[in-house]
Amino acid sequence: MLKIDNAELEDIPRLVGFVTGWMEQQGLNKYIFQVETAVDEACTNVIKHGYRNKGGYIEISCDLHKDDLVITIRDRGKKFDPSQIPPPDIDTDLEERKIGGLGVYMMRKMMDEVQYTFNVETGNTLTMSKKIL
């Protein structure tokens, strides 16, 4: 588990590196790109939107549960439920699309399951799972 009390955007490589390092130790190299992308997007969203670029607490952990790689990200930022975000319009021409707004979409595409819970005492918990075949 990695905990950063005042995580800022500059800490994203450290958070992602923690996960990829753990995955390498477990021999899960073939899943690194997808998980790395999802973790980067999730942590960026926490810092940019949950903490409004002012930094804040982030805790990240990695586990194996049977055939699933499970990444859990906890924060105490603004309540945010990614399941409430509608899918982006990816059929519109690139020139006409607004910048950003693909983070949750990328998390959903890269991982097999994305779950969110909120608790007044502990804050946001994002759990992302990837099937290990």
Query: What is the CB neighbour count within 10 angstroms for residue 130?
Result: 20
| Complete DSSP assignment for 65-105 | ETTEEEEEEEE-SS---GGGSPPP--SS-GGGSPS---HHH
- Segment 27-41 shows an average pLDDT of 96
pLDDT band at 127 (very low <50, low <70, confident <90, very high): very high
> What domain count does the chain have?
1
Q: CATH number of the domain at 63, please.
A: 3.30.565.10
Region of 123 (left: φ > 0; alpha: ψ -120 to 50; beta: rest) is left
Alpha-carbon distances, residue 21 vs 35, 44, 48, 64, 117 (angstroms) = 12, 19, 24, 14, 26
Q: What does pTM read for this prediction? A: 0.88
pLDDT score for 84: 72
CA angle 119, 124, 125 (to 5 degrees): 100
Model pLDDT for residues 51-64, shown as the tens digit of each residue: 998 999 999 999 99
Q: What is the mean pLDDT of the chain?
A: 89
Bridge partner residues of 73 (DSSP) = 60, 126
pLDDT band at 21 (very low <50, low <70, confident <90, very high): very high
Please give the residue range of the domain that contains residue 34: 2-131
Cβ–Cβ < 8 Å for 75, 15: no
pLDDT score for 105: 80
